[in-house]
């Protein structure tokens, strides 16, 4: 029996959640999760709270199954998973900040999202009056010749806010610690009590570069909760949008990574391709980022025949231009000198943190939510999941290059085989509980949604892939030079907003 | 690389004239700056972009302004890394409680005269995030706002048109002939 089945058998199943089961465990069962995670028998897909309970979404990659475990916390405490499994530490800190539930024996008791600036503490739990915030205690780095560099939350470029605290010895980074939460907007609180439509809009504004992927994750969770079958054409249109989004972001990233190695030519050319993708999206669906187009029940707009032709033209243009850019990347020794061997994430670490997307796949973690657990229409499409082992900046670039090629192929297949028909169904009244795992360009996005009987959001949790990428940025930069930090960081391109919620 | 550079040399430029926008909207945009302010700015505007807690959508479109199609530097606009070099603070996103101090300090670090542009629905009034315990509101919750550019996110040409309105009465751009092009004709 697999680790997940053992776990499921030890708990009390909850009726209703779809498409994956949820069981209520006792503290012993909850502690056993920590052991299974530490042994690598399970992967942590998400860890989140409610006012009086904690939930962990667990993935058994060998058995290709997913389940959620719940522990009631009537006295406001739960055994820490982070004690045994480092990937759980930050989610547990966030749970404490938002809900006031304390992870017992947690290795890190510092606040995470709460900077002492909100009107009240633990705003989603039993709210307490705010207290003057103690200065944030960064982790120590001691030794001769060390000094500290503080960067952010306002950065030099046009990027999101976050703070980086470096301890450096000369040019070498001894320790990097990130401090996030600056973009915390209280999305989960805004969702509580909201209509499905309003919550879908918020989901699509969780991380702007992944608006399609987030809207898709939320929509799939809502449809699972309500038992809605979406028309076939809607699935295909969603995949079309998702692959356009992936293309646009990968072009942006490939260019920006090279630019951070001082190679602006690549950025100039990749930015042209990115702009062409966005213009095509605009032409097809009336919005460059395709925001608010994936909706619970289907999609908001159909793809008309002339618009489909513009996607074909786009694919042809990319096929003409992109191979030259790959050759440019491969053939520029000074650029390769910067990307190869820089910012290595060891495969074992990527596995332990269940790193999704290009971060995991550049470090040997062969996981893609489009394939496992999989969702429509990808089962009817041919695609490969590129995996590299080296785990450096170069490998993360190559995953993106290969995924661009795969997305081009997927888009061609989608245009070829998209079925006709309706694009949207009305949602039935009522409530339920649903989940979804969707592959965004950055990695897998997990959504969990609980609707009350009136069809309003009781609770919703959206887990960005960056939750498990940010700690790896810290690991990857260790021993590298400060000048390579922008390069390393861009090769991860973690979301701040998606993480901070 | 040589082939690529050579192709770029003989290819026609991708940069496009700014499409004319709705007249009424432009009038509204331009009312915020008087003639004296425009004379001070001259033909150039140094912009410091600050994300006060956005979803990152607006930043994507701000970055797009630098691509070959929009090429904002031909208009005399440029993004600068330090607030000390900036004429304009361009704020995106709702102002989160956690970013309030960073926003205020960035504004304080700018030399006068200075202006604030609120770009995008969230920077105007908090957008979809208004009312949250973690959000103070639009950019005006932290700094005095001179110009508001709507959109979720604003399209690049809408951002461009709004920023040009800071420098120049907008009607003069209607011919789609940016001043930068006139001043410095492109040579091969």
DSSP secondary structure string for all residues of B67-117: STTT-GGGGTEEE-S-GGG-SEEEEES-EEGGGHHHHHHHHHHSPSS-EEE
Cα distance between residue A435 and residue A188, in whole Å? 15
Among A423, A377, A60, A482, CA closest to A234:
A423
Q: Where are the domains of chain A?
A: 3-124, 187-500
Q: In B, which residues are within 8 Å of A317 by CB distance?
A: none
* Nearest CB neighbour to A160, from listed B51, B68, B129: B51
Task: Identify which of A19, A72, A84, A51 has the alpha carbon closest to the alpha carbon of residue A352.
Answer: A84
- Rounded to a whole number of angstroms, the distance from the CA of A386 to the nearest CA of chain B is 26
A196 class by beta-carbon count within 10 Å (0-12 exposed, 13-18 middle, 19+ buried)? buried
Helices B2-10 and A305-331 cross at an angle (nearest 10°) of: 140
Cα distances (angstroms) measured from residue A355 to each of A310, A443, A444: 35, 8, 9
Q: Which residue of A has its CA nearest to B128?
A: A202
Nearest to A161 among B4, B51, B127 (CB): B51
DSSP sequence for A67-126: EEEEEE-TTSEEE-STTT-GGGHHHHHHHHHHH--EEET-S--S-SS--S-SSEESTTSS
- Work out the average pLDDT over B88-105: 96
**The CA-based dihedral angle spanning residues A13, A16, A21, A27, taken in that order and rounded to the nearest 10 degrees:** -40
Question: Residue A63's pLDDT is what?
Answer: 82
Rounded Cα distance, A205 and A292, in Å: 9
Share of residues in chain A with pLDDT > 90 (%): 92
Place of tokens 């990749």: A270
Q: What is the dihedral of CA B123, B127, B128, B134, to 10 degrees?
A: 50
Do domains A3-124 and A187-500 share one topology? The answer is: no
Cis peptide before B67 (omega within 30 of 0): no
- The answer to whether A328 contacts chain B (CB < 8 Å) is yes
**Average predicted confidence (pLDDT) for chain B:** 83
**In whole angstroms, what is the distance from residue A71 CA to residue A196 CA?**
26
Q: Residue B102 and residue A202: Cβ atoms within 8 Å?
A: no
Separation CA B64–CA A3 (nearest Å): 47
Domain A187-500 CATH superfamily: Cytochrome-c3 Hydrogenase, chain B (1.10.645.10)
A189:B133 CB<8 A: yes
- Span of A3-17, A53-67, A252-266, A447-461 with lowest mean pLDDT: A3-17
| CB-based contact B82 A331, cutoff 8 Å | no
Task: Among A38-47, A292-301, B169-178, name the one with the lowest average pLDDT.
Answer: B169-178
CA A280, A285, A286, A292 torsion: positive or negative?
negative
What is the DSSP-derived secondary structure letter of residue A208? G
User: Which residues share a beta bridge with A163?
Assistant: A179
Using a pLDDT cut of 70, give the percent of chain A over it: 100
- Compare CB distances from A202 to B1, B5, B128 and report the shortest one's residue: B128
Closest CA to A199 of A455, A425, A441: A455
pLDDT digits (tens, 9 = 90+) for A78-116: 999 999 999 999 999 999 999 999 999 999 999 999 999
What does the pLDDT read at residue A76?
Answer: 95
| Nearest partner of A450 among A45, A64, A12, A68, judged by Cα | A68
pLDDT of B23 higher than 80: no
Chain B residue whose CA is closest to A210: B57
> What crossing angle do the helices spanning A196-203 and A211-226 adopt, rounded to 10°?
150
pLDDT surpassing 70 at residue B171: no
Output the pLDDT for position B175. Answer: 40
Residue B87 has pLDDT above 80, yes or no: yes
Q: What is the DSSP letter of A376?
A: T
| Range among A7-16, A272-281, B145-154, B173-182 with highest mean pLDDT value | A272-281
Chain B residues with CB inside 8 Å of A328's CB?
1, 4
Q: What is the pTM of this model?
A: 0.94
- Residue appearing with tokens 């990233």: A253
Residue B184 in this model has a pLDDT that exceeds 60: no
Q: Smallest Cβ distance to B56: which of A160, A268, A325?
A: A160
The architecture (CATH level 2) of A3-124 comes to: 2-Layer Sandwich (3.30)
Q: Which residues of A touch B50 (CB under 8 A)?
A: 154
CB atoms A252 and B60 under 8 Å: yes
Q: Please name the member of B14, B50, B97 whose beta carbon is closest to the beta carbon of A118.
A: B97
CB contact under 8 A, A208 and B63: no
DSSP codes joined into one string, A327-363: HHHHH-HHHHHHHTTSS---HHHHHHTT--HHHHHTT
- The C-alpha of A263 sits at a distance from chain B's nearest C-alpha, in angstroms, of 11
Residues 6+ apart with CB under 8 A from B53: A161, A182, A183, A184, A185, A497, A500, B93, B94, B95, B96, B98, B99, B122, B129, B135
Q: Given this model, what pLDDT does residue B32 score?
A: 53
Q: Which of residues 234-273 of A touch B (CB under 8 A)?
A: 252, 265, 268-269, 271-272
Q: How far apart are the first and last CA of chain A?
A: 37
């Amino acid at each position: 029996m697999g680790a997940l089945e053992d776990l499921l058998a030890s708990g009390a199943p909850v009726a209703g959640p779809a498409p994956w089961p949820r069981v209520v465990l006792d503290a012993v069962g909850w502690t056993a999760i920590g052991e299974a995670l530490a042994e690598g028998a399970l992967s942590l897909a998400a860890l989140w709270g409610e006012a009086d309970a904690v939930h962990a979404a667990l993935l058994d990659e060998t058995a290709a199954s997913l389940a959620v475990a719940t522990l009631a916390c009537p006295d406001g405490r739960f055994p820490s998973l982070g004690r045994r499994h480092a990937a759980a530490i930050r989610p547990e800190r966030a749970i404490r900040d938002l809900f006031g539930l304390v992870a017992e024996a947690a290795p890190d008791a510092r606040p995470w999202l709460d900077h002492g600036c909100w009107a009240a503490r633990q705003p989603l739990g039993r709210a307490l009056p705010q207290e003057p915030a103690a200065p944030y205690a960064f982790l120590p780095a001691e030794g001769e010749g060390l000094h500290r560099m503080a960067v952010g939350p306002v950065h030099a470029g046009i990027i999101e806010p976050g703070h980086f605290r470096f301890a450096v010895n000369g040019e070498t980074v001894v320790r990097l610690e990130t401090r996030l939460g600056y973009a915390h907007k209280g999305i989960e609180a805004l969702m509580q009590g909201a209509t499905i439509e309003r919550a879908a809009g918020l989901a699509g504004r969780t991380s702007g570069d992944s608006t399609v992927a987030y809207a898709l994750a939320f929509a799939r969770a809502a449809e699972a909760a309500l038992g809605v079958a979406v028309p076939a054409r809607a699935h295909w249109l969603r995949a079309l949008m998702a692959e356009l989004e992936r293309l646009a972001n990968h072009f942006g990233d490939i260019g920006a990574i090279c630019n951070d190695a001082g190679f602006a030519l690549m950025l100039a050319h990749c930015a042209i391709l990115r702009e062409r993708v966005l213009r095509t999206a605009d032409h097809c669906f009336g919005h460059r980022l395709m925001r608010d187009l994936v909706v619970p029940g289907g999609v908001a707009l159909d793809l008309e025949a002339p618009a489909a032709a513009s996607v074909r033209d786009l694919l042809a243009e990319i096929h003409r231009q992109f191979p030259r850019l790959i050759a440019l990347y491969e053939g520029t020794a000074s650029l390769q000198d910067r990307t190869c061997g820089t910012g290595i994430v060891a495969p074992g670490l990527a596995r332990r943190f269940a790193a999704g997307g290009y971060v995991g796949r550049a470090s040997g973690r062969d996981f893609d939510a489009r394939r496992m657990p999989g969702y429509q229409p990808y089962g009817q499409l041919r695609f490969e999941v590129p995996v590299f082992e080296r785990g450096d900046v170069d490998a993360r670039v190559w995953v993106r290059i290969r995924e661009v090629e795969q997305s081009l192929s997927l888009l061609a297949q989608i245009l070829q085989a998209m079925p006709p028909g309706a694009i949207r169904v009305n949602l039935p009244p009522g409530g339920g509980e649903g989940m979804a795992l969707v592959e965004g360009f950055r990695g897998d996005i997990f959504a969990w949604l609980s609707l009350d009987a009136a069809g309003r959001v009781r609770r919703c949790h959206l887990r960005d892939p960056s939750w498990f990428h940010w700690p790896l940025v810290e690991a990857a930069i260790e021993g590298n030079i400060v000048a390579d930090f922008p390069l390393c960081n861009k090769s991860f391109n973690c979301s701040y907003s998606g993480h901070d919620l | 690389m040589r082939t690529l550079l050579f192709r770029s040399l003989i290819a026609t430029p991708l940069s496009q004239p700014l499409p004319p926008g709705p007249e009424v909207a432009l009038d509204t945009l331009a009312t915020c700056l008087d003639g004296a302010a425009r004379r001070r700015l001259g033909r150039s505007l140094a912009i410091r972009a600050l994300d006060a807690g956005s979803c990152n959508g607006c930043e994507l479109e701000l970055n797009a302004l630098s691509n070959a199609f929009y090429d904002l530097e031909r208009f005399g606009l440029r993004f600068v890394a330090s607030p000390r070099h900036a004429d304009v603070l361009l704020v995106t996103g709702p102002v989160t409680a956690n970013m309030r101090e960073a926003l205020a300090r960035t504004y304080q670090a700018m030399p006068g005269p200075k202006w604030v542009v609120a770009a995008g629905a969230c920077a105007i009034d908090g957008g979809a995030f208004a009312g949250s315990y973690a959000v103070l509101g639009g950019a005006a919750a932290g700094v005095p706002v001179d110009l508001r550019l709507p959109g979720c996110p604003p399209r690049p040409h809408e951002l461009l048109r709004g920023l040009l309105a800071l420098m120049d009465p907008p009607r003069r751009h209607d011919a789609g002939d940016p001043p930068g092009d006139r001043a410095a004709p492109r040579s091969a």
